[in-house]
Amino acid sequence: MLMETSLLFKTLVILSAQIGILLLSCFYCIYRARLAYERNITFLGINFRGSVNLKGKLNLIPFYKVQEEFPKKLIKVISKNHTDHQEANNQEEVIKLLKGGYKHQTKGNALLASIIIFNSIVMFGTLAVVSAFDLGVTVGIIFFTLTSLSMGPIFAFIMLEMDENDGFKALKIVFLVTLLTGFIGYGDFYSFSENTIFGIVLFLSLLGLIIFNLARFFFEISRSAVRVSAICGSALFSMFLLYDFNYIKKQEGAFGSNDWGTAIEMAFILYLDIINLLLEILEALD
């Protein structure tokens, strides 16, 4: 007979496995990027330059190779909604356009874009499977695992775009925050999930953060304002972790839920909290 375990234990087993898959996928992509830099080859269609940060550590910089054959396409950003495109038929024209503020136009990465699209599909699929449709734990785990596998390369290139060393620092911060909020949220300190006002404040704060991030697509917002928003977002998702860890205790106590179906749903909720917390911290550090 199998020993009966708590809902928290089941949730943490699933959550730890999925976070582990995400990190392994992420670290593998960073390792392959460093290998590509050392061998002067591409990884996922991207080249890498090496630089040294202020602490003397290697920092990889992703870039796309400039088109070698003529005519070459160059682009100049006039404003956020307006760009000017020019073609150069020889190197003299290239130099003239570069002096005029133009930059070489490079092709986007179709493979990385496909990974992002696939990740969005399986993430919403996981959300549907674990919360809306009763398709069983196995199907939920499959979708969840596909989400984590495809999320790894995305986080790897987010970290590489800034400084992967700062990315590792952000991971440590998220780990400590998750441990602390888990201890406080699941403990007997305070019933966060039963406080209606606390829940409303979280919802309204999340709505405000979403509106702010949508506004960034349409308006010029200073880097300092974005950083303040990221710091506030980090605090917000830390509060969500408190709420959701406490909600696990409520599920197990008041509702009497202690099955793997509930565990995978709670694990996915915590997973989204952790992912968003990490994204906000990376934004604040960038």
Residue 41 DSSP class: -
Dihedral angle computed from the Cα positions of residues 167, 172, 176 and 179, in that order, rounded to the nearest 10 degrees? 90
Whether the Cβ atoms of residue 48 and residue 164 lie closer than 8 Å to each other? no
DSSP code per residue over 176-244: HHHHHHHHHHHTTS--GGG-HHHHHHHHHHHHHHHHHHHHTTTS---HHHHHHHHHHHHHHHHHHHHHH
Nearest-CA neighbor of 276 among 245, 235, 243?
A: 235
Q: Where are the domains of the chain?
A: 7-11+25-56+154-285, 66-104
Regarding pTM above 0.95, the answer is no
Tokens found for residue 250: 């409520």
Helix, strand and coil percent figures for the chain, each rounded to 5: 65, 10, 20
Per-residue model confidence (pLDDT) at position 73: 78
Tokens found for residue 59: 């920092």
Per-residue tens of pLDDT for the chain, all 286 residues? 345 788 889 999 999 999 999 999 999 999 999 998 888 888 877 888 888 877 778 888 887 777 667 777 777 777 666 777 777 778 887 778 777 777 766 665 678 888 999 999 999 999 998 887 777 889 999 999 999 999 999 999 888 888 888 888 899 999 999 999 999 988 877 888 888 999 999 999 999 999 998 888 877 788 888 899 999 999 999 999 999 999 998 887 666 677 888 899 999 999 999 999 999 999 988 7
Helix ranges (DSSP H) in 48-136: 91-99, 110-131
What are phi and psi for residue 271, nearest 5 degrees?
-60, -45
What are phi and psi for residue 88, nearest 5 degrees?
-110, 130
Instruction: Using alpha carbons, list the distances in angstroms from residue 179 to 174, 175, 176.
Output: 9, 6, 5
Q: d(Cα 236, Cα 209) in Å, to the nearest integer?
A: 9
Secondary structure element (H or E) that encloses residue 35, with its range: helix 7-39
- Residues 6 or more apart in contact with residue 231 via CB below 8 angstroms: 280, 284
Q: d(Cα 277, Cα 230) in Å, to the nearest integer?
A: 9
Per-residue model confidence (pLDDT) at position 16: 95
Per-residue model confidence (pLDDT) at position 1: 36
